């Protein structure tokens, strides 16, 4: 699959998730923070789709985009960025769990612990899989 | 022991009278990557190193110099 089409597909999936979250939140009369998050997600996806549409119509931008997506330095930067993001997210989650326990918000702390644990587990499974593959 | 990879990319490029943009286009990388390679901030993969060597008609060892330095 072509690079741009792949990107558009991912954006459409994200947008669909945003729409699903918005619909569920409206039906269940959820809070405004979730509605804002869903609307923000949809908005960003729409902007990305406009950007990709512009790129697809301009051969110079398309060529530059394809090089940027495929070239090894960009891939290396994206991988490093993802690694740091995961590390910082897990650290922030553990920090938040600690604070939540101190504030006696044990239910939220338990949910957050589960999320942080699951993230760590997924990381280890993917790491093991990739270390066997390469 | 610290491993270090130096290169003569900037010197060669200037000798051939080509701009970073032209070299980037020929190697199918961004101009920023050429800049990073020249400054030694980024070490290329073996494939990119071969591409660079082929482009200038030289061997990898003529462009890239591997050094090991003792850390005190």
How many A-B residue pairs are in contact by the CB < 8 A criterion? Answer: 25
Q: Is A30 helix (H, G, I), strand (E, B) or coil?
A: coil
> Phi/psi at A42 (nearest 5 deg)?
-65, -45
Q: How far is CA A107 from CA A30, A92, A110, B61, in A?
A: 19, 18, 5, 61
> Residue B2 carries which DSSP code?
E
Q: Tens digit of pLDDT for each residue in A104-119?
A: 999 999 999 999 999 9
Low-confidence ranges of chain B (pLDDT < 50): none
Which of B30, B47, B48 minimises the CB distance to A67?
B30
**Cβ distance A52 to A8 under 8 Å?**
yes
With cut-offs at 50, 70 and 90, classify the pLDDT of residue A73. Answer: very high
Decide if A68 touches B, using CB distance below 8 A.
yes
For residue A98, pLDDT over 90 is answered with yes
Query: What pLDDT shows up at residue B2?
Result: 80
Decide if A73 touches B, using CB distance below 8 A.
yes
List B65's β-bridge partners, or say none.
B6
In this prediction, residues A1-24 reach a mean pLDDT of 91
Q: What is the mean pLDDT of chain A?
A: 92
Query: What pLDDT shows up at residue B7?
Result: 92
Decide if A67 touches B, using CB distance below 8 A.
yes
ipTM: 0.79
For residue A1, pLDDT over 60 is answered with no
Q: CB within 8 A of B14, min separation 6: which ones?
A: none
């Amino acid at each position: 699959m072509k690079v741009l089409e792949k990107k558009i597909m991912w954006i459409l999936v994200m947008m669909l998730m945003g729409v699903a979250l918005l619909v569920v939140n409206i039906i269940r009369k959820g809070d405004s923070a979730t509605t804002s998050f869903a609307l923000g997600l949809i908005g960003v996806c729409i902007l990305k789709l406009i950007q990709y549409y512009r790129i697809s119509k301009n051969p110079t931008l398309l060529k530059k985009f394809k090089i940027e997506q495929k070239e090894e330095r960009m891939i290396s930067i994206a991988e490093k960025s993802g690694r740091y993001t995961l590390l910082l997210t897990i650290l922030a989650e553990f920090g938040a769990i600690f604070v939540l326990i101190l504030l006696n918000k044990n239910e939220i702390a338990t949910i957050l612990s589960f999320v942080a644990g699951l993230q760590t587990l997924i990381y280890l499974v993917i790491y093991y899989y990739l270390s066997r593959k390469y | 022991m610290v491993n270090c990879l130096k290169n003569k990319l900037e010197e060669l490029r200037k000798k051939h009278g080509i701009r970073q943009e032209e070299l980037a286009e020929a190697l199918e990388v961004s101009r920023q990557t050429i800049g990073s390679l020249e400054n030694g901030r980024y070490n290329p993969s073996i494939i990119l190193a071969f591409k660079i060597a082929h482009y200038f008609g030289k061997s990898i060892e003529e462009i890239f110099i591997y050094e090991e330095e003792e850390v005190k």
